[in-house]
Amino acid sequence: MPYLQLALPCRASEQPRYEHALEDVGALAVTLADAHADAPDEQAIFEPGVGETPLWEELTLTALFPHDADPLVLLAALEAFDPGLDWSRARFEDVADQDWERAWLDQYVPLKFGRRTWIVPWNHALPEGADAADAAVVRLDPGLAFGSGTHPTTALCLQWLDALADEGALHGARVLDFGCGSGILALAALKLGAAGAVGIDNDPQALTATRDNAERNGVADRLAVFSPDAAPQDAYPVVVANILASALIELADVLAARTAPGGRIALSGILAGQEDEVIARYASAFADLRADRQDDWMRVTGIRRG
Protein backbone atom coordinates (compact mmCIF):
# COMPACT_ATOMS: atom_id res chain seq x y z
CA MET A 1 0.00 0.00 0.00
CA PRO A 2 1.43 3.42 -0.88
CA TYR A 3 1.79 6.28 1.57
CA LEU A 4 1.69 10.04 1.22
CA GLN A 5 5.12 11.47 2.10
CA LEU A 6 5.72 15.02 3.28
CA ALA A 7 9.28 16.35 3.19
CA LEU A 8 10.54 19.75 4.25
CA PRO A 9 13.80 21.35 5.42
CA CYS A 10 14.16 22.67 8.95
CA ARG A 11 16.79 23.62 11.50
CA ALA A 12 17.62 21.33 14.41
CA SER A 13 16.31 23.94 16.87
CA GLU A 14 12.88 23.83 15.18
CA GLN A 15 12.69 20.05 14.80
CA PRO A 16 10.70 19.33 18.02
CA ARG A 17 8.01 21.84 17.02
CA TYR A 18 7.72 20.43 13.50
CA GLU A 19 7.57 16.86 14.78
CA HIS A 20 5.00 17.77 17.44
CA ALA A 21 2.74 19.35 14.80
CA LEU A 22 3.13 16.44 12.38
CA GLU A 23 2.27 13.91 15.07
CA ASP A 24 -0.76 15.97 16.10
CA VAL A 25 -2.23 15.85 12.58
CA GLY A 26 -1.69 12.10 12.26
CA ALA A 27 1.80 11.40 10.90
CA LEU A 28 2.44 7.66 10.89
CA ALA A 29 6.23 7.97 11.02
CA VAL A 30 8.82 10.75 11.15
CA THR A 31 12.47 10.53 10.05
CA LEU A 32 15.38 12.96 10.08
CA ALA A 33 18.29 13.21 7.64
CA ASP A 34 21.13 15.59 6.89
CA ALA A 35 19.80 18.29 4.60
CA HIS A 36 23.16 18.54 2.83
CA ALA A 37 24.01 14.88 2.52
CA ASP A 38 25.08 13.99 -1.00
CA ALA A 39 26.34 10.49 -0.26
CA PRO A 40 24.11 7.79 -1.73
CA ASP A 41 24.40 5.70 1.44
CA GLU A 42 23.22 8.47 3.77
CA GLN A 43 21.13 6.93 6.59
CA ALA A 44 18.09 8.55 8.14
CA ILE A 45 17.69 8.84 11.90
CA PHE A 46 14.34 7.56 13.17
CA GLU A 47 13.75 9.90 16.13
CA PRO A 48 16.82 10.98 18.12
CA GLY A 49 18.05 8.28 20.50
CA VAL A 50 17.53 8.49 24.24
CA GLY A 51 19.50 11.43 25.59
CA GLU A 52 20.67 12.40 22.10
CA THR A 53 20.00 15.33 19.79
CA PRO A 54 20.00 15.37 15.98
CA LEU A 55 23.45 15.21 14.42
CA TRP A 56 22.93 18.05 11.97
CA GLU A 57 22.05 21.72 12.21
CA GLU A 58 20.04 21.68 8.99
CA LEU A 59 17.72 18.73 8.53
CA THR A 60 15.34 17.25 6.04
CA LEU A 61 12.33 16.12 7.99
CA THR A 62 10.11 13.48 6.36
CA ALA A 63 6.72 12.26 7.54
CA LEU A 64 4.39 9.52 6.30
CA PHE A 65 0.61 9.82 6.14
CA PRO A 66 -2.11 7.44 4.91
CA HIS A 67 -2.19 7.30 1.11
CA ASP A 68 -5.65 8.87 0.95
CA ALA A 69 -4.74 11.93 3.06
CA ASP A 70 -5.41 15.27 1.36
CA PRO A 71 -2.22 17.40 1.17
CA LEU A 72 -4.14 20.68 1.26
CA VAL A 73 -6.10 19.62 4.33
CA LEU A 74 -2.87 18.52 6.04
CA LEU A 75 -1.17 21.83 5.31
CA ALA A 76 -4.16 23.77 6.64
CA ALA A 77 -4.13 21.67 9.83
CA LEU A 78 -0.37 22.12 10.29
CA GLU A 79 -0.55 25.88 9.78
CA ALA A 80 -3.41 26.09 12.26
CA PHE A 81 -1.52 23.99 14.84
CA ASP A 82 1.69 26.05 14.66
CA PRO A 83 1.42 29.11 12.42
CA GLY A 84 4.88 30.24 13.54
CA LEU A 85 6.56 27.56 11.44
CA ASP A 86 7.21 27.78 7.70
CA TRP A 87 5.08 25.11 6.05
CA SER A 88 5.38 26.62 2.55
CA ARG A 89 8.44 24.50 1.80
CA ALA A 90 6.60 21.22 2.35
CA ARG A 91 6.60 18.87 -0.63
CA PHE A 92 4.34 15.84 -1.08
CA GLU A 93 4.75 12.63 -3.06
CA ASP A 94 3.40 9.08 -3.04
CA VAL A 95 5.81 6.36 -1.89
CA ALA A 96 5.65 2.58 -1.50
CA ASP A 97 5.92 1.13 1.99
CA GLN A 98 8.60 -1.52 1.43
CA ASP A 99 11.64 0.75 1.68
CA TRP A 100 10.30 2.41 4.82
CA GLU A 101 9.70 -0.90 6.55
CA ARG A 102 13.17 -2.16 5.67
CA ALA A 103 14.81 1.07 6.84
CA TRP A 104 12.87 0.95 10.12
CA LEU A 105 14.05 -2.60 10.78
CA ASP A 106 17.65 -1.62 9.99
CA GLN A 107 17.60 1.41 12.30
CA TYR A 108 15.71 0.00 15.28
CA VAL A 109 18.10 -1.46 17.87
CA PRO A 110 17.63 -2.71 21.46
CA LEU A 111 17.33 0.04 24.06
CA LYS A 112 17.58 -0.02 27.85
CA PHE A 113 15.54 2.18 30.18
CA GLY A 114 16.29 2.49 33.86
CA ARG A 115 17.89 -0.45 35.62
CA ARG A 116 16.38 -3.42 33.81
CA THR A 117 13.76 -2.51 31.22
CA TRP A 118 14.65 -3.43 27.64
CA ILE A 119 12.80 -2.76 24.39
CA VAL A 120 14.07 -5.19 21.75
CA PRO A 121 12.86 -5.52 18.14
CA TRP A 122 11.27 -8.87 17.49
CA ASN A 123 13.92 -9.91 14.93
CA HIS A 124 16.96 -8.91 17.03
CA ALA A 125 19.02 -11.15 19.31
CA LEU A 126 19.01 -10.25 23.00
CA PRO A 127 21.94 -7.96 23.79
CA GLU A 128 24.19 -8.42 26.80
CA GLY A 129 22.23 -7.50 29.93
CA ALA A 130 18.82 -8.21 28.45
CA ASP A 131 19.35 -11.89 29.21
CA ALA A 132 19.72 -11.25 32.96
CA ALA A 133 17.33 -13.10 35.24
CA ASP A 134 15.54 -9.93 36.36
CA ALA A 135 15.51 -8.15 32.98
CA ALA A 136 12.11 -6.97 31.76
CA VAL A 137 12.23 -7.46 28.00
CA VAL A 138 9.53 -6.24 25.64
CA ARG A 139 9.71 -7.64 22.13
CA LEU A 140 8.17 -4.97 19.94
CA ASP A 141 6.98 -4.75 16.37
CA PRO A 142 5.34 -1.33 16.33
CA GLY A 143 5.21 -1.08 12.55
CA LEU A 144 5.12 2.30 10.86
CA ALA A 145 2.44 3.91 12.95
CA PHE A 146 3.56 3.63 16.55
CA GLY A 147 6.44 4.48 18.83
CA SER A 148 9.44 2.26 19.45
CA GLY A 149 10.59 3.82 22.71
CA THR A 150 13.25 6.06 21.24
CA HIS A 151 11.25 9.28 21.52
CA PRO A 152 11.89 11.15 24.80
CA THR A 153 8.19 11.14 25.74
CA THR A 154 8.12 7.34 25.71
CA ALA A 155 11.57 7.02 27.24
CA LEU A 156 10.50 9.17 30.20
CA CYS A 157 7.53 6.88 30.86
CA LEU A 158 9.61 3.71 30.59
CA GLN A 159 12.16 5.10 33.04
CA TRP A 160 9.33 5.96 35.45
CA LEU A 161 7.84 2.47 35.23
CA ASP A 162 11.26 0.91 35.81
CA ALA A 163 11.72 3.04 38.95
CA LEU A 164 8.23 2.11 40.20
CA ALA A 165 9.11 -1.55 39.82
CA ASP A 166 12.24 -1.07 41.92
CA GLU A 167 10.06 0.51 44.62
CA GLY A 168 7.68 -2.47 44.51
CA ALA A 169 4.78 -0.24 43.39
CA LEU A 170 4.08 -2.31 40.28
CA HIS A 171 4.06 -5.73 41.90
CA GLY A 172 0.58 -7.22 41.53
CA ALA A 173 -0.88 -3.87 40.44
CA ARG A 174 -3.25 -3.09 37.58
CA VAL A 175 -1.99 -0.44 35.18
CA LEU A 176 -3.86 1.89 32.83
CA ASP A 177 -2.03 2.95 29.65
CA PHE A 178 -4.12 5.83 28.27
CA GLY A 179 -3.25 6.47 24.63
CA CYS A 180 -1.50 3.12 24.33
CA GLY A 181 -0.28 3.30 20.70
CA SER A 182 1.86 0.19 20.27
CA GLY A 183 1.14 -0.89 23.86
CA ILE A 184 4.78 -0.41 24.77
CA LEU A 185 4.10 1.07 28.22
CA ALA A 186 1.46 -1.47 29.22
CA LEU A 187 3.74 -4.29 28.05
CA ALA A 188 6.68 -2.91 30.00
CA ALA A 189 4.54 -2.63 33.14
CA LEU A 190 3.48 -6.27 32.80
CA LYS A 191 7.04 -7.42 32.27
CA LEU A 192 8.04 -5.42 35.36
CA GLY A 193 5.57 -7.23 37.60
CA ALA A 194 2.13 -5.71 37.09
CA ALA A 195 -0.69 -8.21 37.42
CA GLY A 196 -2.77 -6.76 34.60
CA ALA A 197 -3.02 -3.79 32.28
CA VAL A 198 -5.62 -1.94 30.25
CA GLY A 199 -4.77 -0.02 27.09
CA ILE A 200 -7.06 2.73 25.80
CA ASP A 201 -6.71 4.43 22.42
CA ASN A 202 -9.09 6.13 20.00
CA ASP A 203 -7.24 4.70 16.98
CA PRO A 204 -8.40 1.18 16.01
CA GLN A 205 -4.99 0.51 14.46
CA ALA A 206 -3.35 1.23 17.82
CA LEU A 207 -5.62 -1.29 19.52
CA THR A 208 -4.72 -3.88 16.89
CA ALA A 209 -1.00 -3.16 17.30
CA THR A 210 -1.29 -3.46 21.08
CA ARG A 211 -3.08 -6.80 20.83
CA ASP A 212 -0.49 -8.12 18.38
CA ASN A 213 2.40 -7.01 20.57
CA ALA A 214 0.75 -8.54 23.64
CA GLU A 215 0.51 -11.87 21.81
CA ARG A 216 4.14 -11.59 20.75
CA ASN A 217 5.17 -11.06 24.37
CA GLY A 218 3.01 -13.81 25.82
CA VAL A 219 0.89 -11.47 27.97
CA ALA A 220 -2.32 -11.27 25.93
CA ASP A 221 -4.26 -12.85 28.78
CA ARG A 222 -3.29 -9.96 31.09
CA LEU A 223 -3.77 -7.02 28.71
CA ALA A 224 -7.17 -5.74 27.61
CA VAL A 225 -7.66 -2.94 25.10
CA PHE A 226 -10.60 -0.58 24.62
CA SER A 227 -11.68 2.51 22.77
CA PRO A 228 -12.35 5.40 25.18
CA ASP A 229 -16.13 5.06 25.02
CA ALA A 230 -16.02 1.29 25.69
CA ALA A 231 -13.43 1.30 28.49
CA PRO A 232 -14.41 0.20 32.01
CA GLN A 233 -14.77 3.00 34.53
CA ASP A 234 -12.30 1.45 36.98
CA ALA A 235 -9.67 3.19 39.09
CA TYR A 236 -6.08 1.98 38.86
CA PRO A 237 -3.12 2.23 41.25
CA VAL A 238 -0.83 3.10 38.31
CA VAL A 239 -1.82 5.31 35.37
CA VAL A 240 0.37 6.49 32.51
CA ALA A 241 -0.76 8.79 29.69
CA ASN A 242 1.67 9.60 26.90
CA ILE A 243 -0.39 11.96 24.75
CA LEU A 244 -0.27 15.70 24.02
CA ALA A 245 -0.38 18.45 26.65
CA SER A 246 -3.63 19.84 25.25
CA ALA A 247 -5.27 16.42 25.57
CA LEU A 248 -3.86 15.91 29.07
CA ILE A 249 -5.36 19.22 30.17
CA GLU A 250 -8.72 18.39 28.61
CA LEU A 251 -8.77 14.89 30.12
CA ALA A 252 -7.62 15.85 33.63
CA ASP A 253 -10.93 14.95 35.27
CA VAL A 254 -11.12 11.64 33.41
CA LEU A 255 -7.57 10.63 34.33
CA ALA A 256 -8.05 11.70 37.93
CA ALA A 257 -11.16 9.52 38.16
CA ARG A 258 -9.24 6.58 36.69
CA THR A 259 -6.46 6.90 39.31
CA ALA A 260 -7.14 5.20 42.65
CA PRO A 261 -6.56 7.16 45.90
CA GLY A 262 -2.86 6.99 46.63
CA GLY A 263 -2.23 5.85 43.08
CA ARG A 264 0.63 7.05 40.91
CA ILE A 265 0.30 8.88 37.60
CA ALA A 266 2.75 9.85 34.86
CA LEU A 267 1.78 12.37 32.19
CA SER A 268 3.99 12.71 29.11
CA GLY A 269 3.93 14.25 25.64
CA ILE A 270 4.47 17.70 27.17
CA LEU A 271 6.77 20.18 25.47
CA ALA A 272 9.07 22.18 27.72
CA GLY A 273 7.18 25.30 28.76
CA GLN A 274 3.80 23.53 28.90
CA GLU A 275 4.42 21.71 32.19
CA ASP A 276 3.22 24.52 34.47
CA GLU A 277 -0.21 24.55 32.85
CA VAL A 278 -0.48 20.78 33.15
CA ILE A 279 0.60 20.85 36.81
CA ALA A 280 -1.91 23.59 37.58
CA ARG A 281 -4.71 21.56 36.00
CA TYR A 282 -3.89 18.42 38.04
CA ALA A 283 -2.98 20.09 41.36
CA SER A 284 -6.42 19.75 42.92
CA ALA A 285 -6.47 15.97 42.48
CA PHE A 286 -2.78 15.06 42.82
CA ALA A 287 -0.09 15.75 45.39
CA ASP A 288 3.69 15.77 45.02
CA LEU A 289 3.50 16.88 41.40
CA ARG A 290 6.91 17.25 39.78
CA ALA A 291 8.24 17.71 36.26
CA ASP A 292 11.25 15.93 34.77
CA ARG A 293 12.85 16.82 31.46
CA GLN A 294 14.53 14.96 28.62
CA ASP A 295 15.60 17.02 25.64
CA ASP A 296 12.66 19.33 24.84
CA TRP A 297 10.05 17.13 26.50
CA MET A 298 8.64 16.93 30.02
CA ARG A 299 7.06 14.26 32.19
CA VAL A 300 4.78 15.23 35.09
CA THR A 301 4.23 12.74 37.91
CA GLY A 302 2.11 12.81 41.04
CA ILE A 303 0.16 10.86 43.67
CA ARG A 304 -3.65 10.83 43.75
CA ARG A 305 -5.10 12.55 46.79
CA GLY A 306 -7.30 10.42 49.01
Residues 6+ apart with CB under 8 A from 226: 198, 199, 200, 207, 232
Positive/negative CA dihedral, 143, 163, 277, 236: positive
H helices present in the chain, as ranges: 15-24, 71-81, 98-107, 152-167, 184-191, 204-216, 245-250, 252-257, 275-282
φ, ψ of residue 168 in degrees (nearest 5): 85, 5
Question: 5 with 68: CB under 8 angstroms?
Answer: no
Does 292 carry a binding-site annotation?
Answer: no
**Distance, CA of 228 to CA of 256 (rounded, Å):** 15
Residue 225 has phi, psi (to 5 degrees) of: -125, 145
Residues in the chain: 306
* Helices then strands, each counted (H, E), the chain: 9, 14
CB 61 within 8 A of CB 30: yes
Cβ 183 vs Cβ 223: under 8 Å: yes
Q: What is the phi/psi pair of residue 238, to 5°? A: -135, 125
201 annotated as ligand-binding = yes
Q: How far apart are CA 198 and CA 187, in angstroms?
A: 10
Binding residues for S-adenosyl-L-methionine, by number, are: 154, 179, 201, 242
Q: Which residues are annotated as a binding site?
A: 154, 179, 201, 242
